[in-house]
Structure 1
């Protein structure tokens, strides 16, 4: 039975939605469909819901379209900003590369100049010793000449004293004219010898002054050469030392390790020694030995720099899409640690080794896709992941700048990019530390 509440609700609905009949007529029959108030209410509510849903869906689509348009515009602006930044970085990189080439040319010129200056230094040192020997001989001759001159003066004094005795002279002249003639000749020869000795002594003094001036000029020239070489060594070594320290690599330990590894090929240069009498080296010899040690240290720095990843794995225009550290995972959306740096670029972009080393893995690895792993010196290891093609084999020895792979999107990846890692003794470190440390050097 219908309750009173149901009857009242029906009466209320009937006032709003009176009962209607829908007639369906055919040739032989006529039928109708009865539309009760409840049925009309349900139909009205359904139509209202459908219309409201259509309005809300249309509004959502419009808002999403507007938001997508804004996002695309923002993305385009960001892309233009990144492109301008990449162009600026590319220009800066080219400038640094030109500076590095110029520095390398200056260094090679300095090495050539060092060789020439070393030869000149040896020749000047030999010349200086010859001049010192000549000065000693001249001084010895001058002393002997001075002695002869003093002896001649004594003889002349004695003769003059004898001439003062007129009586004796007349007596001698009267009694021995031959002896008097001999004495006059002897006095004349003595006077000529005295004049010659004085002239030779003056010439020797003048020659000594000239030799001393030549030695002083030669020493000043050598000092200038040493200063130029010392400045060149300082300018060449300091940037390399700063580069290693900025990368957190202890230079003393690194240099000692390279020296041990190259003891038969790149060891210390032989010190310069010009003395054969067991004497202490002179100031010039000490400065020359110091320059040779600095040249050896510069060579060790150069070898060490080739063995550490102080280079970028890509040279083309790429986008730096993700750095080292915690980030939002592109697959799951959760917070996860990212152990490397991502460089996005065109499919097939060339990827290069960042340092000398040995390939320890060249193939597929879960998550990394096609992976190249290179073991370097000092416990450093680099990884190049998500490649589309690998161009090296396991066990192959590679050098900095060798083409090792092509950029792709294999493994756990959302698009074409290179995932680049640097590990020190198995612990991941930020690769940009090494790349930025060498930015103003290479």
Structure 2
């Protein structure tokens, strides 16, 4: 049975692959190789497999080449987009710096206007007191003059009534002398009365002029107050939003800064006026409210310098890794990549608590700030500060490097609040709208 099947298969193959002979001739003899149908089938199948494998391998190589080209093009597009975004962020940061400078100038202008307004209010209060004193003197003089005139009239009436019963030895000359003296006294009294009336009228006109001047001054002060109140509103709101965006309570921060602030006196001291037991003047209340807002701005400025709202790298850089889970564990900071030696700056006022080698971090600087905040700067190439040194925001503290467990030159920047890591970009993004 097997022989019959084999014969049938051989016959079918022979129709497709007839038996062939390959002759090999030499100088002395001729030989041939017989190519049976089975041998031709095996050779044909092997050739098909080799050709197919060649085609598939070539296609795979072409696809890899095309894919790599697309990946590089996409990477170049992403890099271009990222550079455009960085340039936009840089322009926005410069614009915010200009706005902060303008806000500082408005703040200084407001201080000058408050000082001028305080001087004008004090001068107006002094003029009003002088005018009240002058009016009291005029009224007292007028009352004394009226009493003197009435007394002179009574004396004249008494002398006139006693003339019929006078003794005989009183001569007409004496009576005439007395009448002359009385007439002179009356004339003098009348002249004084007229002078007092003229002085009173002049004082009334002066009082009216003073009232007009006070009204004009009040309108001018009201305009100044409105401008200052608007300036305070525009200046305070961005700072208030900055602290809230960073998850910080502005009122708590202000109270903490005020408790630790040793400065006293100065232009931000509330204005004190004599109220004579009455309610405080409305202008004084508005002026003190503006001074309170300016004092709040000053405390905001102090608090902003003690919180890490700045960015640690000011040269060109790129973000390589953000805050959050990475490779199954928490990446507790933000990475900024730039060439080795790029300057690193303190992001807030504080005290250096560590500056040395730390496992994994490499060369590490820790800075303790107020409000329970600590910043960390890792993988440095050089450190320019020492433990216990006090630094200010913007001071250079080191240079970027590749020390510790690092895959390339970059800065690993952390912010910790009460020992717990938080996203540093919360503070940086909040500060971008102000600084």
TM-score (norm 2): 0.80
Q: Cα deviations across residues 185-209 of structure 1 (Å, max 9, x unaligned)?
A: 5224413421332222331342254
The residue number in structure 2 matching 1:194 is: 190
The residue number in structure 2 matching 1:259 is: 258
Distance 1:129 1:238 in 2: 40
**Contact 2:138 2:196 (8 Å CA) reproduced:** no
Q: Cα deviations across residues 347-372 of structure 1 (Å, max 9, x unaligned)?
A: 43332221112233334445444433
How has the CA–CA distance of structure 1 residues 180 and 266 changed in structure 2, closer, same or farther, with 3 Å as cutoff? closer
**Contact 1:90 1:317 (8 Å CA) reproduced:** no
List aligned pairs for 1:17-32, cutoff 5 A.
Answer: none
| Equivalent position SS for 1:265 | coil
| Equivalent position SS for 2:344 | strand
Cα distance, 1:243 vs structure 2: 1.6
Distance 1:310 1:382 in 2: 11
Q: Which runs of 5+ in 2 are unaligned?
A: none
Bigger Cα displacement from structure 2, 352-361 vs 402-411: 402-411
| Equivalent position SS for 1:406 | strand
The residue number in structure 2 matching 1:182 is: 178
Distance 1:233 1:20 in 2: 106
The residue number in structure 2 matching 1:109 is: 109
Distance 1:267 1:196 in 2: 52
| Equivalent position SS for 1:378 | coil
Distance 2:142 2:181 in 1: 26
Cα distance, 1:306 vs structure 2: 0.6
The residue number in structure 1 matching 2:346 is: 353
The residue number in structure 1 matching 2:306 is: 307
List aligned pairs for 1:194-343, cutoff 5 A.
Answer: 194-211=190-207, 213-214=209-210, 217-218=213-214, 220=218, 225-262=224-261, 264-265=262-263, 271-275=270-274, 282-326=281-325, 329=326, 337-343=330-336
Distance 1:372 1:40 in 2: 78
Distance 1:191 1:267 in 2: 61
**Contact 2:149 2:186 (8 Å CA) reproduced:** no
| Equivalent position SS for 1:438 | helix
Cα distance, 1:183 vs structure 2: 0.8
**Contact 1:273 1:281 (8 Å CA) reproduced:** no
Cα distance, 1:437 vs structure 2: 1.9
The residue number in structure 2 matching 1:90 is: 90
How has the CA–CA distance of structure 1 residues 195 and 375 changed in structure 2, closer, same or farther, with 3 Å as cutoff? same
How has the CA–CA distance of structure 1 residues 60 and 367 changed in structure 2, closer, same or farther, with 3 Å as cutoff? farther
Cα distance, 1:32 vs structure 2: 7.7
The residue number in structure 1 matching 2:370 is: 377
Distance 2:88 2:295 in 1: 37
**Contact 1:145 1:201 (8 Å CA) reproduced:** no
Q: Cα deviations across residues 58-96 of structure 1 (Å, max 9, x unaligned)?
A: 212222222332333333333333222322222222121
Q: Cα deviations across residues 287-308 of structure 1 (Å, max 9, x unaligned)?
A: 4544444343332211111111
**Contact 1:266 1:300 (8 Å CA) reproduced:** no
**Contact 1:389 1:407 (8 Å CA) reproduced:** yes
Q: Which runs of 5+ in 1 are unaligned?
A: none
**Contact 1:267 1:296 (8 Å CA) reproduced:** no
How has the CA–CA distance of structure 1 residues 62 and 367 changed in structure 2, closer, same or farther, with 3 Å as cutoff? farther
| Equivalent position SS for 1:422 | strand
Distance 1:96 1:438 in 2: 9
Cα distance, 1:18 vs structure 2: 6.1
How has the CA–CA distance of structure 1 residues 433 and 267 changed in structure 2, closer, same or farther, with 3 Å as cutoff? farther
- 1:398 corresponds, among 391, 400, 423, to 391
Q: Cα deviations across residues 330-356 of structure 1 (Å, max 9, x unaligned)?
A: xxxx56654433434444333222111
